[in-house]
Chain A
């Protein structure tokens, strides 16, 4: 089981790097879709007991992250007519190198954190790395949709942290799905206001215009 968990976490890290290094938006979206599926399979690998809670979490995650969100994003691409990333603030080579540095730092820092149990040796570092890489994508890319992908990766990283305690936190499923709905609202906002370039500011007070 540990080997399957390690393999899944390794593939999650590789999808992070795909998002960092690619210029095409469709590849970004495919990568987070794959990441979503992997994240859905992780609770089943971590807790092979298979309680209803674990199965529900897995199914919900795969459905929302692996199917629903990517479809929303692809619909948003069509509506806003964007194809490729242009002029990111940080070049691709530098992004890849920073990604490697983030993974190394995550492994180094995780050694010091008092949260490790056995078979969680890779979970915390990969979670931390995903969070950092998600933040990197969120802040350095200029197309709004790629920023949304970065946000999804950040949220995936937080979800990975949460997997350590999935047996004890009953509301994780609801909270996770809620965050995903938030992202869907983001995307609809992009489409509705035809924002194909970057947001001028990430000022959330603007989102209040959506209500009413």
Chain B
């Protein structure tokens, strides 16, 4: 554990260095980047060792506050998430240093770097926490720091609004978590995770714990219908913070659910089904709402909702497998969820970083004002394309591997009689994949291909090395996992088996032989495509090669504004889904555009919030400002507590 804490300390020092040396930008940048990477590597080292087969490590600290010892440890589940956190965190932080550099004059950039470093450290502490109080403290720290990072551009109305919605949502979720831990801790005695596991709740207790966990952690994860804070917050934050939030922050909700599933034992069957159905709904609705967005970052944020849905599908299958004592299904389901978490962290942050590069180069995030950037920003386009192919789940990249693993879980439910109806979820997952393909064809095509639609897009310049290197590190990880899935699937299955409380051997035997074939498939694809490309180039060298305007069946003078727009691309799908797609069509005599609306926010969350505020206003008379009355309140509460204690101990005395 020493390297772990040393690494975290180094990360914090990196943030402090960025703040302290802010008058000397080159030194601050180099110190920040170097120390962050160093700290990340150091802290990841124990995690890699644990995943490679080492034993879990742990350290106990006696605490001055009640609530049991403070235990920190890295077991395989924590190790897997830790690698995601540190890799994405380091990449985002380094990217952020280059991204925010132009704004150093008029914004508190150094403070943002400090806060980013602290955020990464708190995330790492969160997954390493093995008792309740440190967990909740790290959770709250992570949420508050994220709020300050989100409202970086606080002079804009929509940023402040998004920050407020985020803050209320995260605290509502935390409230549920506190209730859950309080109840559970009372069952277990002390508040360490070991004690919670030993409590083995059952019946109503288990139902309560699992429901509160789903609500609290689901709010953080962005599960439909608790996702409404996500698009606003991720679009408003600076890009590297969005990458960190989409890639890692919302995964902490998933981490929480997996940890609860591991500690509380086999979940009830109804919970598994609920998670599966909510996962399907999140997946389909998330990608549908993403299709109709005009803002690049909001679109990517809705995609995070979709991928959380896919992760929850795997989680649901794992929970059902654990409940019905099917070790293979439990390991594959949970393992698929864990693997997709890592993969999504990688490719989603890659996509956000690419979107940030586009925003830096052109000054706009609106998809329909961009276009033709592939010629001016070829490296950014390559990285973005790798991220797109990965997120759609196409071979030979890592998205395919984790979706394949989740499909394995769904298809294998055919062997387990009570849950065979879960097979229909395979069709749902196929729908999600096809819609994701449509969405990223839209994004990639409208932003990077064709011709630039407006002047800012025409003048875009390639991003600097500071922005490109983190992107390519993440892209390389995507390609590595896609080409050699055995690197990641084995550890994921072991983690999945650990969560389900089963042995990993069955799952590894069932799924293992396929991994080599998947690598073979990736290799063959690259070879075949490469070979055909080479042959074609040789053939074309001997033929005439002409250059002309785009033919398009005889348009004499095509114009960049005549290109298909992204909104039109998505229109048939939005029309096919009707009201659910949440698109408002605005028709005026000389203009026509679509406006996507956040349905859950407008129809559920805000009315509910207004009603709560109405009730709260009725309590207003208590706050009248008279000091003597406040002191009277204190006295009254003290008397009530004394009375309660007296009755409690009075009852215990014989």
Q: Which of A83-110 contact B (CB under 8 A)?
A: 91, 93, 104
A16 to chain B, nearest CB (A): 20
Chain B 567-585, CB-CB to A under 8 Å as 1, else 0, gives 0000000001010000000
Residues of A within 8 A of B576 (CB): 93
B349-380 Cβ-contact flags toward A at 8 Å (1 or 0): 00000000000000000000000000000000
CB distance from B10 to the nearest CB of A (A): 55
Please give, as numbers and ranges, the residues of chain B lying within 8 Å of A104 by CB-CB distance: 421
A-chain residues with CB within 8 Å of residue B578 when the two chains form the complex: 91
Number of interface residues of A (CB under 8 A): 3
Name 3 interchain pairs, CB-CB below 8 A, sorted by A: A91-B578, A93-B576, A104-B421
Residue in B closest to A108 when the chains form the complex, CB atoms: B421
Report how far A93 CA is from B573 CA in the complex, Å. Answer: 13
A residues near B, CB below 8 A? 91, 93, 104
B15 to chain A, nearest CB (A): 52
For the complex of A and B, list the 3 residue pairs with the smallest distance between their C-beta atoms, beginning with the closest. Answer: A91-B578, A93-B576, A104-B421
Residues of B within 8 A of A93 (CB): 576
Bound state CA distance, A91 and B578, in angstroms? 9
**Roughly how many angstroms separate A104 CA and B421 CA in the complex, as a whole number?**
10
Inter-chain CA distance A93–B580, complex, in Å, is 13
Nearest-CB distance from A140 to chain B (Å)? Answer: 14
What separation, in Å, do the CA atoms of A104 and B427 have in the docked complex?
15
Query: What 1/0 mask marks residues of chain B from 593 to 609 whose CB sits below 8 Å from any chain A CB?
Result: 00000000000000000
Nearest CB in chain B: distance from A23 CB, A:
16
- How far is B578's CA from A104's CA once the two chains are assembled, in angstroms? 25
Q: Which residue from chain A places its CB closest to the CB of B577 in the assembled complex?
A: A93
B interface residues with partner A (beta carbon < 8 Å) = 421, 576, 578
Rounded to whole Å, the gap between the CB of A146 and the closest CB of chain B is 20
Taking CB as reference atom, which chain B residue is nearest A93? B576
Q: Output the least CB separation between B535 and chain A (Å).
A: 44
Name the residue on B nearest A101 (C-beta).
B424
Q: In the complex, what distance in Å separates the CA atom of A154 from the CA atom of B421?
A: 27
Query: Shortest beta-carbon distance, A207 to chain B, in Å?
Result: 35
Given the complex, which residues of B lie within 8 Å of A91, measured CB to CB?
578
With a cutoff of 8 Å between Cβ atoms, the chain A residues found around residue B421 in the complex are 104
For the complex formed, measure the closest distance between the CB of A25 and the CB atoms of chain B, giving whole angstroms: 23
A155 to nearest B CB, angstroms? 31
Within the complex, the shortest CB–CB distance from B421 to chain A, in Å, comes to: 8
CA distance A93 to B579 in the complex (A): 13
Cα separation A91 to B579 with both chains bound (whole Å): 11
A151 CB to closest chain B CB (Å) equals 27
A112 to chain B, nearest CB (A): 15
- The minimal Cβ–Cβ distance linking A93 to chain B, given in whole angstroms, is 7
What is the CA–CA distance of A145 and B578 in the complex, to the nearest angstrom? 26
Measured in the bound complex, the distance between the Cα atoms of B421 and A137 in whole Å is: 26
Instruction: Give the shortest distance, in Å, between A92 (CB) and chain B (any CB).
Output: 11
The docked-state distance in angstroms from the alpha carbon of A199 to that of B217 is: 50
- Report the Cα distance A104→B424, complex, angstroms: 11
In the complex, what distance in Å separates the CA atom of A104 from the CA atom of B420? 13
Q: Which residue of A lies closest to B579 (CB)?
A: A91
Using CB atoms, name the residue of chain A closest to B576.
A93
B322 to chain A: closest CB distance in Å?
A: 24
Min Cβ gap A111→B in Å is 12
Closest chain B CB from A211 CB (angstroms): 43
CB of B571 to closest CB in A, whole Å: 17
Docked Cα-Cα span, A55 to B26, in Å, equals: 97
Q: Which residue of A lies closest to B578 (CB)?
A: A91
B461 to chain A: closest CB distance in Å?
46
| In the complex, residue of chain B having the shortest beta-carbon distance to the beta carbon of A100 | B424
Q: How far is the CA of A93 from the CA of B581 in the complex (A)?
A: 15
Q: How far is the CA of A91 from the CA of B577 in the complex (A)?
A: 9
Bound complex: CA of A91 vs CA of B511, how far in Å?
Answer: 41
Closest Cβ–Cβ distance, residue B75 to chain A (whole Å): 40
C-alpha spacing A93/B431, complex, angstroms: 14
With the chains together, A169 CA to B432 CA distance in Å? 51
Complex Cα distance, B576 from A104, in Å, reads: 24
Nearest-Cβ distance from residue B269 to partner chain A, whole angstroms: 15
Query: Chain B nearest CB: distance from A137 CB in Å?
Result: 19
**Assembly CA distance A104 to B422 (angstroms):** 13
Complex CA distance for A91 and B421, rounded to whole angstroms: 25
Question: A94's closest neighbor in chain B, by CB?
Answer: B578
**Cα distance A93–B421 when bound, in Å?**
21
The complex places the Cα of A91 from the Cα of B576 at a distance, in Å, of 9
Minimum C-beta distance from A99 to chain B (A): 14
> B413 CB to closest chain A CB, in angstroms?
16
Q: How far is it, in angstroms, between the C-alpha of A154 and the C-alpha of B578 when the chains are bound?
A: 29
B323 to chain A, nearest CB (A): 19
- Would you give the shortest CB distance from A125 to chain B, in whole angstroms? 15
Complex-state Cα separation, A93 to B576, whole angstroms: 9
CA distance A163 to B603 in the complex (A): 48
Q: In whole Å, how far is B98's beta carbon from the nearest beta carbon of chain A?
A: 47
Within the complex, the shortest CB–CB distance from B392 to chain A, in Å, comes to 23
For B424, the closest partner residue in chain A by CB is A104
Shortest Cβ distance from B351 into chain A, in angstroms?
31
